[in-house]
Amino acid sequence: MLQNLIGRKDEIRRLDSCMRETNAQLIILYGRRRIGKTYLINEYFHGRFDFKLTGSYKEKKDIQLYNFAEELSGHTGETVRTPESWAEAFQLLRRYISTLPEQEKCVLFFDEFPWLDTAHSGFLNAFSHFWNDYGCARHNMICIVCGSAASWIVENILENKGGLFDRQTCSICLQPFNLSQTEEYLRSRGIEWSRYDLAECYMIMGGIPYYLSLLRPERSLSDNIDNLFFRKRSELWNEFQQLYRTLFTNSDQYIQIVEALSIRRSGMTRNEIIEKTGLSDNGAFSEKLRDLIASGFIGVTSQFGKKKEVYYQLRDYYTWFYLRFIKGQNGLDEHFWTHSTGAPTRYVWAGLMFEMVCKDHIPQIKHRIGISGVLTEESTWSVRGNENEDGAQVDLVIDRKDHVIDLCEIKYSEREYAIDKDYDVKLRSRRESFREHTKTKKTVQIIFISTYGLKQNKYSGIVSGQVVLDDLFVQTE
């Protein structure tokens, strides 16, 4: 059972738990587009639903109601006329459900739920009434609400202050595959690449199942990337615009924000984003930041010892790739990725993305250095230089509850990395600068994270622990 599902073990356990319950279940499933939400539900329930309705992007209420009637007709075996309102539609649904056997689970699936809630349609109020007045009282009811507009789901359901307040029995935010799951998924499709190539693939696509499903085993990684992203009218030719347009109203302003964040690897403060984009500093801007965070496009980090100083960082791999390499190409070079092998700009991008991969695999890093059971907080740290002192920056600080702080040095390399005399001096100076500026009493040590590890020499002793690329592929759950 469910052998077609890669990963998603925790999600399956949670769905299993809901199915065992003897009271009604309202399951909320959300996450970034292309991440496999519909696939998960279809596979788990084997496509067998007592009723399923999928919202249509930017369609008017009458079209959505027509689709409702068509779906209901398919389940009842009788022609159902198109209702005039969502209130009437849910009354029709109630009548149909009442004809089903009560001793069996009744499974309803509303996919792309936010798209059903068109302006002034009354959909959300009608659904709230349906659930509160009828659905939640039926012990055999399983209702799954699914949507890609994660911010809409959070605001209108998970944080609803009205009829749906605290009504969900299970909420699942579906995450991208990690490296281990990506490797397992690609192997299931006949793709056996080196982990170096798998890591590069991850830096481009992240762990987004739909993107990964487009890769072909008969092609090399570079050929696949050229074919999917740089060939004219390829499968992902218009993906960037479609991705943001279908998730956000006024998508141009959301794109302005991510474009601004792509300029600075360390992230920006709210005021810096406003200054760069020219957007107004108001509640609408705050809402856009929340939307981008909820949808997984940007993340929030802080400087060590300055938790109130929040920085926003671009965290979506595909967006990074698009803005660095695809934007402006317009099919000028259909073999761009192959031709750019060894280019300095590509090497700089790879270093930046490898840092992001490491930050997305903190459990694997902790497992490798033997602190899986230790509570930690992750942050960054930097200090500006002056006439008396050079500046310093640490992209990943792991502050441990066992009174140790790990300063993680992250290096992306095609071979073992060798620390020379100058780099040794730099590492020691950075560690001492951290101690001096933070006034920490904890033990401060350096952890080296790289693709192939450190070459042992007389300077490698500065490092207290190592993590290599293979360690990031460990499945920790």
- pLDDT reading at 440 higher than 90: yes
pLDDT band at 388 (very low <50, low <70, confident <90, very high): low
Co-location of 224 and 303 in the same domain: no
Q: Rounded mean pLDDT of 254-279?
A: 95
Decide if 338 is inside a domain. Answer: no
Segments forming the whole domain that contains residue 38: 9-173
Decide if 349 is inside a domain. Answer: no
Token match 């000028």: residue? Answer: 332
pLDDT at 477: 65
Question: The CATH number of the domain where 446 resides is what?
Answer: 3.40.1350.10
- Cα distance between residue 292 and residue 100, in whole Å: 41
- pLDDT reading at 238 higher than 90: no
Decide if 430 is inside a domain. Answer: yes
Co-location of 162 and 184 in the same domain: no
Token match 């590509």: residue? Answer: 346
Co-location of 378 and 468 in the same domain: yes
Question: The CATH number of the domain where 289 resides is what?
Answer: 1.10.10.10
pLDDT band at 5 (very low <50, low <70, confident <90, very high): confident
Q: Model confidence over 75-107: pLDDT tens digits?
A: 999 999 999 999 999 999 999 999 999 999 999
pLDDT at 178: 97
pLDDT at 293: 93
Co-location of 49 and 98 in the same domain: yes
Co-location of 281 and 222 in the same domain: no
Q: What is the 3-state secondary structure (H, E, C) of the chain?
A: CCCCCCCCHHHHHHHHHHHHCCCCEEEEEECCCCCCHHHHHHHHCCCCCCEEEECCCCCCHHHHHHHHHHHHHHHHCCCCCCCCCHHHHHHHHHHHHCCCCCCCCEEEEEECHHHHCCCCCCHHHHHHHHHHHCHHHCCCEEEEEEECCHHHHHHHHHCCCCCCCCCCCEEEECCCCCHHHHHHHHHHCCCCCCHHHHHHHHHHHCCCHHHHHCCCCCCCHHHHHHHHHHCCCCCCCCHHHHHHHHHCCCHHHHHHHHHHHCCCCCCECHHHHHHHHCCCCCHHHHHHHHHHHHCCCEEEEEECCEEEEEEEEECCHHHHHHHHHHCCCCCCCCCHHHHCCCCHHHHHHHHHHHHHHHHCCHHHHHHHCCCCCCCEEEEEEEECCCCCCCCEEEEEEEEECCCEEEEEEEECCCCCECCCHHHHHHHHHHHHHHHHHHCCCCEEEEEEEECCCECCCCCHHHCCEEEEHHHHHCCCC
Decide if 240 is inside a domain. Answer: no
Q: Rounded mean pLDDT of 199-212?
A: 97
- Cα distance between residue 329 and residue 325, in whole Å: 7
Q: Model confidence over 101-124: pLDDT tens digits?
A: 999 999 999 999 999 999 999 999
Co-location of 226 and 261 in the same domain: no
pLDDT band at 387 (very low <50, low <70, confident <90, very high): low
Number of domains in the chain: 4
With beta carbons less than 8 A apart as the criterion, state whether 376 and 432 touch: no
- Cα distance between residue 110 and residue 341, in whole Å: 45
- pLDDT reading at 151 higher than 90: no
CA–centroid distance for 266 within its chain: 19
pLDDT at 3: 64
Q: Rounded mean pLDDT of 378-390?
A: 81
- pLDDT reading at 442 higher than 70: yes
Co-location of 65 and 144 in the same domain: yes
Co-location of 85 and 143 in the same domain: yes
- Of 133, 154, 173, the residue at which a domain comes to its end is 173
pLDDT at 12: 95
pLDDT at 300: 94
- pLDDT reading at 150 higher than 60: yes
pLDDT band at 249 (very low <50, low <70, confident <90, very high): confident
Co-location of 33 and 131 in the same domain: yes
Decide if 345 is inside a domain. Answer: no
Co-location of 290 and 264 in the same domain: yes
Q: Rounded mean pLDDT of 174-203?
A: 96
- Of 134, 151, 173, the residue at which a domain comes to its end is 173
Structure tokens that stand for 32 in this block: 């970034």
Co-location of 297 and 443 in the same domain: no
Decide if 321 is inside a domain. Answer: yes
Q: Rounded mean pLDDT of 305-318?
A: 91
Q: Model confidence over 409-420: pLDDT tens digits?
A: 999 999 999 999
Q: Rounded mean pLDDT of 60-83?
A: 96
Question: The CATH number of the domain where 119 resides is what?
Answer: 3.40.50.300
Decide if 114 is inside a domain. Answer: yes
46 φψ region: left (φ > 0), alpha (ψ -120 to 50), beta (else)? left
**Mean per-residue pLDDT over the chain, rounded:** 93
Q: Rounded mean pLDDT of 322-343?
A: 89
- pLDDT reading at 29 higher than 80: yes
Co-location of 146 and 219 in the same domain: no
- Of 288, 313, 330, the residue at which a domain comes to its end is 330
Decide if 353 is inside a domain. Answer: no
Structure tokens that stand for 38 in this block: 């519909």
Q: Rounded mean pLDDT of 451-469?
A: 95
pLDDT at 76: 92
Percent of the chain at pLDDT exceeding 90: 84
